């Protein structure tokens, strides 16, 4: 259980809790309007990044339960969005 209380990220070390990055690549309006049941076409994929496997697994399940395809983006140290990419919601762009 102690691995849940540690993080390699500077912020996680400061607060003594795992840091999980999710929902930063979608607009709030899209969270409300673009959710789709599992197995249906048109689901939006959201990346989930973090150092704690257990905490990240919980957030991956949450993303899926909310109606989006959850993608494990790895740990915080290795996560980068290439400059040529941006999260895209039809009609809206979140950067």
Higher pLDDT pick, 34 / 80 = 34
Q: What is the pLDDT of residue 18?
A: 87
pTM above 0.75, yes or no: no
CA distances, 93 to each of 5, 6, 12 (Å): 34, 33, 29
CA dihedral in degrees (32, 30, 74, 16; nearest 10)?
-50
Q: Summarize pLDDT for 2-58 with one digit per residue, the tens.
A: 343 344 555 556 677 888 999 988 999 999 999 999 999 989 999 999 989 999 999
Judge whether 70 and 3 are in contact, CB under 8 Å: no
């Amino acid at each position: 259980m102690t691995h849940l209380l540690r993080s390699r990220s500077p912020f996680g070390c400061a607060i003594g809790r795992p840091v999980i990055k999710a929902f930063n690549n979608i607009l709030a309006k899209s969270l409300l309007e673009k959710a789709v049941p599992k197995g249906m076409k048109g689901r939006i994929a959201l990346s989930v990044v973090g150092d704690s496997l257990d905490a990240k697994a919980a957030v991956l399940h949450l993303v899926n339960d909310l109606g989006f395809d959850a993608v494990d983006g790895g740990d915080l140290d290795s996560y980068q969005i290439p400059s040529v990419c941006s999260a895209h919601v039809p009609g809206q762009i979140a950067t």
